[in-house]
Amino acid sequence: MTSVIVLRGVSPLGGDPRDLVIAGGRIAAVTPPGGGEHTSVVADAADGAAGGTRRGPLIVDGAGLIALPGFVDLHTHLREPGREDAETVESGTRAAALGGYTAVFAMANTDPVADTAGVVEQVWRLGQDAGHCEVRPVGAVTKGLAGSQLAELGAMATSAAAVRMFSDDGHCVSDALLMRRALEYVKAFDGVVAQHAEEPRLTAGAQMNEGAMAACLGLPGWPAVAEEAIIARDALLAGHVDSRLHVCHVSTAGSVEIIRWAKAKGWRVTAEVTPHHLLLTEDLVASYDPVYKVNPPLRTKADTEALRAGLADGTIDCVATDHAPHAPEDKETEWAAARPGMLGLETALSVVIETMVTTGHLDWAGVADRLAAAPARIGGVTDTVLDVAQFAQVGTPATLTLLDPRAQRVIDPAGFASRSTNTPYRGRTLPGVIRATFLRGRPTVLDGKIV
Ligand SMILES: NC(=O)N[C@@H](CC(=O)O)C(=O)O
Ligand SMILES: [Zn+2]
């Protein structure tokens, strides 16, 4: 594979077209778009950057494509070890690269649970071997996700996987003292505790959002307050011990208000929203199709609107997919028995365009911040720019994705790289197609296909 690449006529952050020359894993030159006799200028720049060895750069026709920094997903379930039938590190990171991602945080609710240095190192190594994107393992907060004893946080932080984010996701750390201790402990290595905010006593037996729709469908409700009470408590704890809290998959308007309040206090609280909570609402549950079953549940239109506004104004820092693959026997069953969770990696950008760009909530620089720079800051990812203003400048890492904002596609999981098919968007036409992804100057996706 050639080490010099020229991206011809791409629009960084949706701005004026440029030729980007990539060499040595970084942006080596940025020039006005060439073509014709300008080719040699670009090729010369590439040669210079490559140390004078002419190997013939790989030319990528980027006309009409927008270049954004590679996306960072703070919330991915890769299912390995334990449920390799639903997803593996290899298949999940392929899905990630095809979705424009260059780094994913692999959640700890595997089997065995990622609560020791051994398991997080195993996942990290599998990610290195697959090579489709960076894999950053998330360590469990409590042993076995059981919520009673802290896991070996320090051992995971100092392991080869260098864990910085800890979460019992799938479960809430509901014990306030344990949550306080975890927040205090991770300060030693600038870690962050990512909370799945769900007061379990308020959600026992819950099957969907609590409200009129649940009453109508005869399903036990999952009230907004079960999420909001934990977020408020944890924000207070994070403020009290001056540590970093990250709130997973925020789903209610009230949660947005609480996070806005916590940030105004100056506490170190960050938050993510999933694509599905930006787009989908609880009425879909009327079909009783378990593809719409997810934790936290799909909420109301008013909630989606508050989430969009919160993401637009930065109250919610970033988008995270909560990519949750499930095998057919766990998902394609009756509603009450089905596992919660939906796929996200291969459709996230499209849903963000549909809900945030088309609606005028975010421009492309805003998308770059919410999908790449902000999660990189929260997770401590260094290959992605931490400030979108630094993107596509000479010397910055060539970790980026190229997308066609005008192309539409009909979502069909048969074409997904994921091993699972539980997408709630099957049959929908959505905008935006990823054409290429580069990780430190190396193509992971070209022409919409894994390299
Ligand atoms: N979101 C879900 O509905 N499910 C996730 C767990 C989680 O993120 O809470 C899973 O692991 O399947
Ligand atoms: Zn969760």
Identify the DSSP state of 140: P
Question: Which residue minimizes the CA distance to atom 9 of ligand 1?
Answer: 170
- pLDDT tens by residue, 148-187: 999 999 999 999 999 999 999 999 999 999 999 999 999 9
Question: Which residue minimizes the CA distance to atom 6 of ligand 1?
Answer: 170
What total number of domains does the chain contain? 2
Q: What is the CATH number of the domain that holds 104?
A: 3.20.20.140
The CB-side HSE value for 26 (13 A sphere, CA atoms) comes to 12
Is 211 found in the same domain as 226?
Answer: yes
Last residue in a domain, options 386, 402, 434: 386
Is 277 found in the same domain as 218?
Answer: yes
Q: Is 449 exposed, middle or buried (0-12, 13-18, 19+ CB in 10 A)?
A: exposed
Is 168 found in the same domain as 59?
Answer: no
Is 403 found in the same domain as 382?
Answer: no
Query: Would the annotation count 154 as a binding residue?
Result: no
pTM for the full predicted model? 0.96
Is 98 found in the same domain as 54?
Answer: no
Is 282 found in the same domain as 424?
Answer: no
Question: Which residue minimizes the CA distance to atom 2 of ligand 1?
Answer: 341
Is 401 found in the same domain as 276?
Answer: no
**Which structural domain range is residue 419 located in?**
5-66+392-450
Is 105 found in the same domain as 229?
Answer: yes
Q: Do residues 99 and 71 touch, judged by C-beta distance below 8 A? A: yes
pLDDT at 56: 81
- pLDDT tens by residue, 295-333: 999 999 999 999 999 999 999 999 999 999 999 999 999
Indicate the residue type of 12. P
Query: Would the annotation count 245 as a binding residue?
Result: no
Query: Would the annotation count 322 as a binding residue?
Result: yes
Q: Is the CB of 397 under 6 A from ligand 1?
A: no
Q: Is the CB of 324 under 6 A from ligand 1?
A: yes
Above 90 in pLDDT, residue 51? no
Identify the DSSP state of 70: P
Query: Would the annotation count 109 as a binding residue?
Result: yes
Q: What is the CATH number of the domain that holds 36?
A: 2.30.40.10
Tokens read off for 392: 């596509």
Ligand sitting nearest the alpha carbon of 327: 1
Is 369 found in the same domain as 411?
Answer: no
State which ligand 1 atom lies nearest to the alpha carbon of 198.
9
- pLDDT tens by residue, 265-289: 999 999 999 999 999 999 999 999 9
Contacts of 215 (CB under 8 A, 6+ apart): 221
If you measure from the C-alpha of residue 42 to the centroid of ligand 1, how many angstroms do you get, rounded to a whole number? 47
- Treating both helix axes as pointing N-terminal to C-terminal, what angle do 301-313 and 253-264 enclose, rounded to 10 degrees? 30
Q: Do residues 255 and 309 touch, judged by C-beta distance below 8 A? A: no
Last residue in a domain, options 333, 362, 386: 386
pLDDT at 5: 97
Give the other-Cβ count within 10 Å of 333's Cβ.
12
Q: Is the CB of 168 under 6 A from ligand 1?
A: no
Top pLDDT among 202 and 49 is at 202
pLDDT at 123: 98
Is 341 found in the same domain as 378?
Answer: yes
Is 446 found in the same domain as 316?
Answer: no
Q: Is the CB of 169 under 6 A from ligand 1?
A: yes
Is 32 found in the same domain as 160?
Answer: no
Last residue in a domain, options 331, 361, 386: 386
State which ligand 1 atom lies nearest to the alpha carbon of 249.
8
Identify the DSSP state of 361: S
Cα 347 to Cα 359: distance, rounded to the nearest angstrom: 18
If you measure from the C-alpha of residue 336 to the centroid of ligand 2, how many angstroms do you get, rounded to a whole number? 18
